[in-house]
Amino acid sequence: MRRALSILAHSVAIFVPVFLVATFVTFALRALSGLSPASLQLGESATPEAIAQIERQWGLDRPFLTQYLDWFGDMVTGDLGKSWYNGADISRLLVEGAAISLSVAGLALLIGVVFGFGFGVLAALRRTTWVDRAITGFMTFISVMPSFVVGIALVGVFAVGLGWFPSAGYSPAERGLGTWLAHITLPAIALSFDTVSDVARQLRAGLVAAYRENYVTGAVVRGLGPRRIFFRHVLRNGVGPALAVLGLKFPNLLGGAVVTEAIFGMAGFGQFAANSAQRGDVPAVQGVLVVSVVLVVVFNLIVNVVLARVAPASARGV
Amino acid sequence: MIRRVLRLTTGRIAFGILAAIAFLAAFGPLLAPYDPLEGTTDILANPSGAHPLGTDYLGRDVLSRLLDGSRVSVLGAVQVALLALVVGVVPGILSVYFGRAFEWVTLRLADTLIALPFLVFAVAVTALLGNGIPQAMFVVGVMVSPLFYRVARAATLSVARSQYVEAAIVAGASVGWVVRRHVWVKVLPPIAVALANTTGVGFVVVSSLTFLGIGVQPPAPTWGGVLAADLGYLSFQPWAPLVPTALIMATVWACNLLADAIRDVTGEAGRALLNTRKLDPGKVTNGSPVAP
């Protein structure tokens, strides 16, 4: 327990700077883009006085650092400000979008873990046979498929062709788990390919390397059964890289939402970010980015703690 | 190094595909039989002698659009990779020599860029900065640069601690001389591998962005944009996405293949430092920090 806490502290020490830098860059986006709520509300023909007045209303005439500290303070308490576009509370809009994106990303993660581990373990157990080669080849193949290509293929075959799944839209879980699953299955599959292939390849490599270790030979010589050798000796020592990859994949699952949500017409995080950005609604974009950074940081903390428990050697590196 | 890569079958295949793609990028716009922007009344036509790949929902010739869009799609990926190279490698080498403060700052910056949800940031920042190709290339290039940073840094660290470099320093060599003379040689092979990998990654990202209409706006043709147009008419033309998909996948695959081939001929040094796309049973490697 104390070790887990010290790992947690260590990881927090790594991720606090990450969080600070990322949020600062996010905030600086407004200054970098030179956008102002006035251009959204008044259009092209606005007079300088009208622009100045609107900017004063939004507090944009204050010094940069004051604005930043204000914004940061509000953000920490969960207030992400109001949209320039329609004045709506961004935190509330994001909660709706997050439910959609997290359902899809969560299911994609689940698919990635189940199939990635399944294929990886199978390839490692049947190493150097045709099963291994077939799995390896298939993983290489799906790793070069961009998620929008997979998404289009899935829509073409399973939604338009066979009609098994709805081709677009989202239905909340409260309105029935079946329809909810039906709506998020195809996007989640499209999103998961990259994770499946990377986890499977890292896991296979890790397990095969572990099988070569002397302690495994020793266990075989001592007469231990293959099942026990696999779970006690090989899996624990070989799973590290695969788990580490999983930690790196989560940002991609969240970020990939932009593409899959566009294909499947879901009003999640990614669509919200893309639409707001194209409208020039800076606070809304900043809100999405901040929330996604928080999610990524939290997820990485969890992975680091799990990793430290399963494979203590990894704690030294982080 | 190129000659040794070409001696491998995988290297030859990769070079062949990439040469064909480069040819498309260079001459594609000239080869296009029709104006890629001009619509006709002949909409959503099936492939025929006049339109080998059919026409899209505005009656535009799909082959012409693909040919014309190849330059933007390919050049975009190359620009991304080169920008990432410059932004990543220089601080990567300097982080070993410039003192702990610089090292700490650049490491945290690299951590941050890796932790960001890549595509959301790319889309949001590009659109906010003005939604053009230069903005998109800049944002994506900076976001994939940590790969180069890590590769260059790892290679430099391994050289900096070797005995012959210590001997050179003891003998009075300056840091600049050591970097030019010893470090550069060691850093080059892993960077070549990373360059091939990032070109593939950059290609996927650029196609994803153009698919979303970010960076290059319709009606300007791109491979991703053609795919996006196909999506709405899948029930009429279910075969339509096949050709742009094949183009994108072949390019990415060739980039990865090339990375593997370079890694194979440059040997263990490059292999230990990088995420291996190929399965190498003897080595456990870290995952790629960048992937779309």
In a domain, B85, yes or no: yes
Q: How far is A232 from chain B (nearest CA, A)?
A: 19
DSSP 8-state secondary structure symbol assigned to residue A230: I
| Chain A residues closer than 8 Å to B235 by CB | 160
Mutant choice from B10, B103, B116 vs A, greatest count of A C-beta within 10 A: B116
- Closest alpha carbon to B122 in A250, A259, A172, A197: A259
Per-residue HEC secondary structure of A235-288 comes to HHHHCHHHHHHHHHHHHHHHHCHHHHHHHCCCCCHHHHHHHHHHHCCHHHHHHH
Looking at residue A44, its pLDDT comes to: 65
Rounded-to-integer distance, Cα B46 and Cα A256, Å: 32
Write the CA distances from A262 to A93, A272, B219, integer angstroms. Answer: 18, 10, 18
Looking at residue A47, its pLDDT comes to: 73
Closest in A18, A152, A292 to B117, CB measured: A292
Rounded-to-integer distance, Cα B73 and Cα B66, Å: 10
B162-194 exposure pattern, b = at least 16 Cβ within 10 A, e = fewer: eeebeebeeeeeeeeebbeebbeebbbbbbbbb
Question: Given an 8 Å threshold on Cβ–Cβ distance, is B123 in contact with A245?
Answer: no
Question: Given an 8 Å threshold on Cβ–Cβ distance, is A252 in contact with B117?
Answer: yes
Question: Given an 8 Å threshold on Cβ–Cβ distance, is B108 in contact with A248?
Answer: no
Instruction: Find, in chain A, the residue whose alpha carbon is nearest to that of B119.
Output: A255
Looking at residue B287, its pLDDT comes to: 39
Find the mean pLDDT for residues B146-174.
84
Q: Are B53 and B63 in contact (CB under 8 A)?
A: yes
Question: Given an 8 Å threshold on Cβ–Cβ distance, is A300 in contact with B291?
Answer: no
* CATH at B142: 1.10.3720.10
Phi and psi dihedrals of B232, rounded to 5? -70, -15
Structure-derived torsion over alpha carbons of residues A277, A279, A285, A288, reported in degrees to the nearest 10 = -90
Looking at residue B290, its pLDDT comes to: 37
DSSP 8-state secondary structure symbol assigned to residue A316: G
Mutant choice from B21, B105, B111, B123 vs A, greatest count of A C-beta within 10 A: B123
Q: Are A200 and A119 in contact (CB under 8 A)?
A: yes
Question: Given an 8 Å threshold on Cβ–Cβ distance, is A21 in contact with B129?
Answer: no
Q: Which domain holds residue B230?
A: 61-277
Write the CA distances from B220 to A10, A307, B72, integer angstroms. Answer: 49, 47, 10
Looking at residue B39, its pLDDT comes to: 66
Looking at residue B95, its pLDDT comes to: 86
Question: Given an 8 Å threshold on Cβ–Cβ distance, is A252 in contact with B118?
Answer: yes
* A255 contacts chain B (CB < 8 A): yes
Would you say residue B31 has pLDDT above 60?
Answer: yes
DSSP 8-state secondary structure symbol assigned to residue B216: S
In a domain, B290, yes or no: no
In a domain, B4, yes or no: no
DSSP H helices, chain B, are 2-7, 9-31, 62-97, 100-115, 118-128, 133-160, 163-170, 175-178, 184-211, 223-231, 242-266, 268-273
Rounded-to-integer distance, Cα A54 and Cα A61, Å: 10
In a domain, B114, yes or no: yes
Find the mean pLDDT for residues B121-129.
81
| Chain B residues closer than 8 Å to A204 by CB | 279
Rounded-to-integer distance, Cα B199 and Cα B206, Å: 10
Q: How far is A221 from chain B (nearest CA, A)?
A: 22
Instruction: Find, in chain B, the residue whose alpha carbon is nearest to that of A209.
Output: B282
Mutant choice from A100, A149, A261, A292 vs B, greatest count of B C-beta within 10 A: A149
Rounded-to-integer distance, Cα A306 and Cα A314, Å: 10
Q: Are A33 and A50 in contact (CB under 8 A)?
A: no
Closest in A209, A244, A277 to B127, CB measured: A277
Question: Given an 8 Å threshold on Cβ–Cβ distance, is B235 in contact with A209?
Answer: no
Structure-derived torsion over alpha carbons of residues B227, B231, B234, B237, reported in degrees to the nearest 10 = -30
The ipTM is 0.74
Phi and psi dihedrals of A59, rounded to 5? 70, 25
pLDDT tens-place values along chain A, 318 residues long: 677 777 778 777 777 888 888 888 888 877 777 777 766 666 666 677 777 777 777 777 777 777 788 778 877 777 777 777 777 777 887 887 788 888 888 889 899 889 988 898 888 888 878 888 888 888 888 887 788 888 888 887 887 777 777 777 777 767 777 777 777 888 888 888 888 888 888 888 888 888 888 888 888 888 888 888 888 788 887 787 788 788 778 877 887 878 888 888 787 888 888 888 877 788 888 888 888 888 888 887 787 777 777 666 554 443
Closest in B230, B249, B284 to A205, CB measured: B284
Whether the model pTM is above 0.90: no
Task: List, as one string, the DSSP characters of B10-50.
Answer: HHHHHHHHHHHHHHHHHHHHHH-SS-TT---S-TTPPP-SS
In chain A, where the domains are located:
2-34+94-315, 38-79
Distance in Å from the first CA to the final CA of chain A = 18
Mutant choice from B210, B276, B284 vs A, greatest count of A C-beta within 10 A: B284
CATH code 3.40.50.2000 for A2-34+94-315: no
Q: Are B111 and A18 in contact (CB under 8 A)?
A: yes
Find the mean pLDDT for residues B246-270.
77
Spatial CB neighbours of A255, under 8 Å, sequence gap ≥ 6:
A270, A292, B116, B117, B118, B119, B120, B121, B122, B292
Please count the structural domains in chain B. 1
